[in-house]
Chain A
């Protein structure tokens, strides 16, 4: 019998952390439980699906009855019973748990291409993928297209690499095809090291087959017979789902010898990274697969000529590959028209930080940052005011309010002093300190610098020391100029992209938020009250009710007072952890 009642539960990393496994099990248990007639339970299917993007409202559950979809938010196992009896058995949705307007505005401005399967199909089931035209494109490519034809379509689509640099994918493949060699490699870069980015994770977890299909098509286009997917170790669920998908493909004859019966061989393996940001850089990644320290090498040759084990190699990002099957199926024109003149298609963006609707979104290139923050993101959380949008992770920069009408594409973001990068966007509000933010990123790049070249290894360390000085109240006149000078040298003289972009967060915040730096240096004040050494906590006697909540939570025993009388903080003992500030219900504690 056909299943006309579908229950879809989000099981990405975000969903699982919010308890989606238990929710799914409870649904399954309820369906097969004794009280439900067998003829009815046969019509129901509860299935796992990938991330649908709106992680802030997880666990999200779709109940689809005869094609009519109702979505519930924040579902917990103990809510399942009610949803089942009232909605599924008796046809009345549980109104109070249904998603509200936010959920719909979140989706309205989006155009889902890469994410179109995420949240819709079971990522662990190849049949579910095939039911939505999966592997049709690969089959076409392998059985009825020439390598050059595929390359031409990709070139005409205007697809540019989603890994950060935006290199035209068709051109890269053409180079790969032209160079003759008995052994060539195709590599998928699933390292996604940028903190604040989770697009690639969601695609690998939610639609692993699309990535593999893209790679098969690339293999044919470049006449390569060996592939690797490099996934970072921090993504265990992505590794598991890709591994299952690869096994299913071997069984179905889509990978291995004579794929799709076309006579073309393609073998694909997963390589797990071991925790190093720099390994996302193409040459470092290849050294890592070779079992070496992941250090970038000068690009005397393009990887298309000499890459992995000195063989011609084409390397693309996860999202780049996931776009390919769609381009082959729907044509280059369709894809090109989705984007701007210079870059086709959509971009998946992970939106997080101090914004109401955090999660994964996909927009056509060319929408403005304001639309992303205020329409899709729903504006700033908790009635606070917007301060900056950080884009491009540790290689990017911070964009202030007045530039929010900038369009999302590679060139416009660069003009605004930031980069598109991998597509991570983190919203900062008035409670974020820009100096602290710059320091945060520099700490990251400094510790992730592989140490090979001096400007990056030592230069970032010196810059970090200056920022540490400034945030602890020891900043000096001339520090800002020194930061700028160092930044320019590091940018100009580093070997790889890590060093070349490491100063960006500092330089861009200096450009737009210089006064905040100056306040730290001249007045020894942190206007956002973030930098620990520059703030003091105290209790407003007039507001304090003497409830003692702060005293109980203080880990340093720094708060004194008797019940119902105003309390006091001993600033000598205070470790400035902020616990009391969060614990006070009467807003009696201030930090300045």
Chain B
């Protein structure tokens, strides 16, 4: 871990980075922002940890808890909403054993996320399964995709 953090620190110094770029690098390396990484940077840079957390909680790209192995993102843009993305979302929560007010399943295999709009409105409704953008999604196809992932796991 130390090694990765040193590398991020090096890049920060070289490119006159800022807190956001550090957090982006941490998120990229670990998939979320572990608390100890913030303490580490806070000490190294003499910036209060609260500034890191304040920034991390402001932006939706940062996560303070580990996420599931598979990430299903449902676009909640207007076009997707009009074409029924809420239905897709409700069904996913029903299907994947996710505790209320959480987004990751109890077995850590799935995380369901909403994104405001990925700008692919022409092929709404859109979901992203582990970074692959899938357009014109139907309940049926979504359940098929979920089954495929479940079978793999």
Chain A residues with CB under 8 Å of chain B are 13-14, 16-18, 54-56, 58, 192-198, 201-202, 233-235, 272-277, 288-294, 350, 352-354, 358-360, 390, 393, 424, 426-428, 432, 437, 440-441, 444, 448, 450, 553, 555-556, 575, 577-579, 582
Chain A residue nearest in CB terms to B95: A555
Q: How far is the CA of A444 from the CA of B75 in the complex (A)?
A: 13
B49 close to A (CB within 8 Å): no
Please report which residues of chain B, range 128-142, place their CB below 8 angstroms from some CB of chain A when the two chains form the complex.
133-135, 138-140
B39 close to A (CB within 8 Å): no
B62 close to A (CB within 8 Å): yes
Q: Are B79 and A358 in contact (CB under 8 A)?
A: yes
**Option from A17, A18, A194, A288 in Cβ contact (under 8 Å) with B117:** A194
Chain B residue nearest in CB terms to A294: B58
Q: Are A390 and B78 in contact (CB under 8 A)?
A: yes
Q: How far is the CA of A206 from the CA of B87 in the complex (A)?
A: 32
**Option from A201, A277, A293, A350 in Cβ contact (under 8 Å) with B55:** A293
Q: Are A276 and B120 in contact (CB under 8 A)?
A: no
Q: Are B135 and A18 in contact (CB under 8 A)?
A: yes
Q: Are A195 and B77 in contact (CB under 8 A)?
A: yes
**Option from B24, B81, B95, B126 in Cβ contact (under 8 Å) with A440:** B81
Q: Are A577 and B116 in contact (CB under 8 A)?
A: no
Q: Are A577 and B60 in contact (CB under 8 A)?
A: no
Which residues of the other chain, A, contact B133 by a CB distance below 8 angstroms? 13, 16-17
Q: How far is the CA of A18 from the CA of B123 in the complex (A)?
A: 9
Q: How far is the CA of A20 from the CA of B20 in the complex (A)?
A: 34
Which residues of the other chain, A, contact B121 by a CB distance below 8 angstroms? 55, 196-198, 350, 352-353, 358, 424, 426
B72 close to A (CB within 8 Å): no
- With an 8 Å Cβ cutoff, the count of chain B residues facing the other chain is 44
Which residues of the other chain, A, contact B65 by a CB distance below 8 angstroms? none
Q: How far is the CA of A32 from the CA of B84 in the complex (A)?
A: 43
Q: Are B78 and A272 in contact (CB under 8 A)?
A: no
Q: Are A291 and B116 in contact (CB under 8 A)?
A: no
B119 close to A (CB within 8 Å): yes
Q: Are B55 and A196 in contact (CB under 8 A)?
A: no
Q: How far is the CA of A291 from the CA of B117 in the complex (A)?
A: 23
**Option from A54, A193, A272, A553 in Cβ contact (under 8 Å) with B116:** A193
9 residue pairs from A and B, CB less than 8 Å apart: A13-B119, A17-B120, A196-B77, A198-B122, A274-B23, A424-B121, A450-B58, A577-B87, A582-B138
Which residues of the other chain, A, contact B151 by a CB distance below 8 angstroms? none
Q: A55-B120, A58-B123, A293-B54 are in contact. Are A274 and B24 (CB under 8 A)?
A: yes
Q: Are B79 and A352 in contact (CB under 8 A)?
A: yes
Q: How far is the CA of A194 from the CA of B118 in the complex (A)?
A: 10
